Amino acid sequence: MVLAMPTPYRRIAILGGGPAGATAAATLARAGMDVALFARGKRPPIIVGESLVPAVVPYLRRLGVEEEVASYSTWKGGATFIHDREYTQSFRFNEVRGAKTTYSYNVPRDRFDATILASAQKAGARIIDHTGRGEREPGTQRVRLTDESLAASGFDTQPDFIIDAGGRGRQFARLFDIPTIDGDRRDTALHAHFEGVEVEIEGNVHTDRLEHGWSWRIPLPGRVSIGIVIDSDYIQKFGDSPEEQLDNFLKHDPVIRDFALPATRVTPVMKYTNYQSRATRGLGENWAMLGDAYGFIDPVFSSGVLIAFEGGERIANALLTGTRKALEDYDAETQRSLAAWQRVIRWYYDGRLLTLFKVGNYVENTLIGKMMSFHFRKHMPRIFTGEDATNRYSLGLIDFMVKYALAGNDPTKMQIN
């Protein structure tokens, strides 16, 4: 394919082969760009981000991989929130008014990431089995590939543009000492796969509010992914290793042990601590940050893979446009997206969102609730499906509701401790 539009950015190096980097690579390569995608083959056995929101599905279609993803994944029809041992709420994506996509998938991330990476290769990107490294050009705001990475890239000279999509190592943020905006939490996430775990509704992602922290249950083919997000100091009392901490905590918490005690863990336990953080900028003279390298907010609403796909397409389209303004728009839109998710997640942790869910469940059966339901069923759920996650009106509506529509209920009773 011949590049149809003028752009000074024709040779692109992308450092990191996860969904964000691979999406950018596929989009650019299809347009005729010369793309080197550094994707070191070794990855963790399991990765956070297995439950996809419906807004991800159109990206899978554009990459031409939805059918393949569906073949090895669990169909996801909705979400279930367990507030406590007595109260559970679920919603189905096909009940969301105006939804463009009414389903999604829970995916084994090893196969899913391999599928997205293969789509980039099929589009014409060179996949480099090498850890891509950049370095700052002395006395400038520019970056270049290290000599070793340049030799591996297939480029004769330095590329025109370099993207850091290498995850939470955040190479470029460190090179330029870019400040971050961090969330209020200092939690640890522990995550593993189990057999013999019960779920309320088959296929639904389950979010359980615990005595301390919260947990997820994600049905996958033949197993269920369980993760807990909990105060880093509190989890230390359950053991020295991640395996001891997760296994012992599952036996301890009165909400989670009901379904976890019969379960058998079948993978190692992965531990994550450096999240709820976003860079204050992700764009430089000849470089940009993408995906988790730019910011990772929180796993609670499964936003990470959506942010990766959005960012991958957005930076690719900016480079194809070829103007500085297009790149600055990419940076501004990414900031807005990350800030919007950070805002919604804050409402979850402080109890306002779960309180609103409970109030809404009651009010929808009243006369005024039935009159307003038509409106709310369009704007509020579409934030959590990802389709309206950055829509100013939808965010403004839920912001108003969590402040003024809690009907006198104390949100601290539903906060995540």
Are 265 and 307 in the same domain? no
Is the per-residue pLDDT at 328 higher than 70? yes
Are 171 and 297 in the same domain? yes
Range with the poorest average pLDDT among 155-164, 221-230, 296-305: 296-305
CB 148 within 8 A of CB 135: no
> DSSP labels for 184-210?
S--EEEEEEEEES---SSTT-EEEEE-
Percentages of the chain per state (helix, strand, coil), in multiples of 5: 40, 20, 35
Q: What's the pLDDT score for residue 391?
A: 80
**Structural domain harbouring 41:** 11-46+109-180+280-344
SS3 118: helix
Is the per-residue pLDDT at 227 higher than 80? yes
Are 164 and 292 in the same domain? yes
Residue 5, domain member (yes or no): no
Are 151 and 285 in the same domain? yes
Output the CA–CA distances (angstroms, integers) from residue 83 to 213, 334, 357, in the order listed: 12, 31, 10
Q: How far apart are CA 104 and CA 153, in angstroms?
A: 35
Residue 84, domain member (yes or no): no
Are 194 and 312 in the same domain? no
Residue with tokens 């005690």: 261
Interhelix angle 304-321/324-349, rounded to 10 degrees, is 170
Residue 149, domain member (yes or no): yes
Are 34 and 116 in the same domain? yes
Q: What's the pLDDT score for residue 1?
A: 39
Which of 402, 398, 404 shows the shortest CA–CA distance to 414?
A: 402
Our count of domains for the chain comes to: 3
Average pLDDT over residues 356-363: 74
Are 127 and 241 in the same domain? no
Is the per-residue pLDDT at 235 higher than 90? yes
Is the per-residue pLDDT at 349 higher than 80? yes
Count CB atoms within 10 A of the CB of residue 29: 23
Are 198 and 303 in the same domain? no
Are 31 and 113 in the same domain? yes
Q: How far apart are CA 295 and CA 301, in angstroms?
A: 15
pLDDT in tens, 181-193: 888 788 999 999 9
- Residue 210, CA atoms < 13 Å, CB-side half-sphere: 24
Are 40 and 141 in the same domain? yes
Q: How far apart are CA 401 and CA 406, in angstroms?
A: 7
pLDDT in tens, 251-276: 998 888 877 778 899 999 999 886 67
User: If pLDDT is split at 50, 70 and 90, which confidence band does 362 have?
Assistant: low
Q: What's the pLDDT score for residue 88?
A: 85
Is the per-residue pLDDT at 91 higher than 90? no
Average pLDDT, the chain: 90
Residue 158, domain member (yes or no): yes
Q: What's the pLDDT score for residue 379?
A: 66
Is the per-residue pLDDT at 307 higher than 80? yes
DSSP H helices, 322-391, are 324-349, 352-363, 367-379, 381-384
